[in-house]
């Protein structure tokens, strides 16, 4: 009987060992060192670098918008995003670790940058209002300056453009006070305490159209050198 039991145990162990080997071969991604991980292909993104509009706070006085300078710059027109297949394991061990994706610039284009400034909001009663900036970008062939960009003073360069502002409306979710019910109460030691502990606030919401919190600034070339499409 002892020999029979030993033979049975040995046979069972062999079956288990074979099953483990087959499982590992069929699931190579379970091995260490990240073997079998399928790497995602790199993603190419075409950008739209030329824009003649900018968004600034609606509290800004449009009369304070002022042209600053015109210069030639290089803008990214195409990027490539690659994903590290082993990065997720590192992030699991170190949540503050590196990003799994890396973005690299694949192509650049020449552009004319028109920079403007405006008076920003006053912070505090004794603060001196500063000036914030925004930029818009044009194709070089759109602006009739040729090779004389560096020869133009600020007034001459600014006269090439026309600035208009507009403020759109947006949909905003707000509390419907007419159809909402709020429990009575008062502040006790700085905390709001309900008069009736069993009372529950019944809050209803509605959507209404309100002015946008941002002002849209559009900069156009007064006399375009070409009708190139943006």
Q: What is the DSSP code string of 43-77?
A: EEEE------EEEEETTS-GGG-EEEEEEEEEEEE
Considering only residues 56 and 41, tell me which one the structure prediction assigns the higher pLDDT: 56
Q: Please, how many CA atoms are within 13 Å of residue 136, restricted to the half-sphere of its CB?
A: 24
- State the DSSP H helix or E strand holding residue 166, giving kind and residue range, or none if neither: strand 161-166
Could you give the C-alpha distances from 146 to 51, 112, 142, 152, in angstroms and in order?
20, 11, 10, 11
**Residue keyed to tokens 């040729």:** 146
For residues 166 and 53, what is the distance between their CA atoms, to the nearest angstrom?
11
Q: What is the pLDDT of residues 157-199, one digit of tens each?
A: 999 999 999 999 999 898 999 899 999 999 988 888 899 989 9
Over residues 139-166, mean pLDDT: 90
Asked if pLDDT for residue 56 goes beyond 90, the answer is yes
Whether residue 126 has pLDDT greater than 60: no
Q: 131 pLDDT exceeds 70?
A: yes
Is it the case that residue 97 has pLDDT exceeding 80? no
Calculate mean pLDDT across residues 98-116. Answer: 88
Indicate if the pLDDT at residue 22 is higher than 80: no
Please report, for residues 5, 95, 159, 161, the alpha-carbon distance to residue 70 in angstroms, rounded to integers and kept in the order given. 91, 43, 11, 11
Burial class (CB in 10 A: 0-12, 13-18, 19+), 158: middle
Check: CB of residue 85 under 8 Å from CB of residue 39: yes
| pLDDT of 18 over the 90 cut | no
From residue 54, give the alpha-carbon distance in Å to each of 115, 217, 220, 229.
11, 5, 12, 18
Enter the pTM of the model: 0.64
Average pLDDT for residues 64-70, to the nearest whole number? 95
Q: Is the CB of residue 109 less than 8 Å from the CB of residue 141?
A: no
Q: What distance in Å separates the CA atoms of residue 123 and residue 132, rounded to the nearest whole number?
A: 13
Strand partners, 116: 67, 134
Exposure string (b/e) for 28-64, b if CB count within 10 Å is 16 or more? eeeeeeeeeeeeeeeeeeeeeebebebebeeebeeee
Q: What would the pLDDT profile of 156-165 be if each residue is shown by its tens digit?
A: 999 999 999 9
> 90 CB contacts (<8 Å, ≥6 apart)?
97, 98
């Amino acid at each position: 009987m002892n020999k029979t039991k030993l033979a049975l145990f040995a046979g069972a162990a062999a079956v288990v060992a074979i099953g483990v080997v087959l499982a590992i071969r069929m699931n190579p991604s379970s091995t260490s060192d990240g073997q079998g991980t399928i790497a995602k292909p790199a993603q190419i993104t075409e950008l739209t670098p030329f824009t003649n509009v900018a968004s600034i706070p609606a509290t800004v006085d449009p009369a304070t918008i002022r042209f600053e300078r015109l210069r030639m710059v290089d803008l990214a027109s195409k990027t490539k995003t690659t994903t590290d297949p082993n990065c997720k394991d590192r992030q699991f061990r170190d949540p503050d670790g590196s990003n799994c994706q890396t973005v690299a610039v694949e192509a650049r284009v020449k552009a004319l940058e028109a920079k403007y400034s405006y008076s920003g909001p006053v912070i505090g009663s004794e603060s001196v209002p500063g000036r914030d900036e925004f930029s818009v970008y044009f194709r070089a062939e759109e602006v009739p300056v040729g090779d004389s960009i560096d020869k133009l003073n600020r007034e001459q360069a600014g006269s090439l453009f026309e600035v208009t502002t507009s403020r759109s409306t947006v949909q905003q979710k707000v509390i419907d006070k007419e159809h909402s019910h709020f429990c009575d109460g008062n502040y006790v030691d700085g905390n709001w305490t309900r008069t009736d502990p069993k009372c529950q606030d019944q809050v209803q919401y509605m959507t209404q159209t309100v002015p946008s919190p941002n002002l849209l600034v559009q900069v156009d070339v007064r006399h375009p050198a070409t009708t190139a499409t943006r």
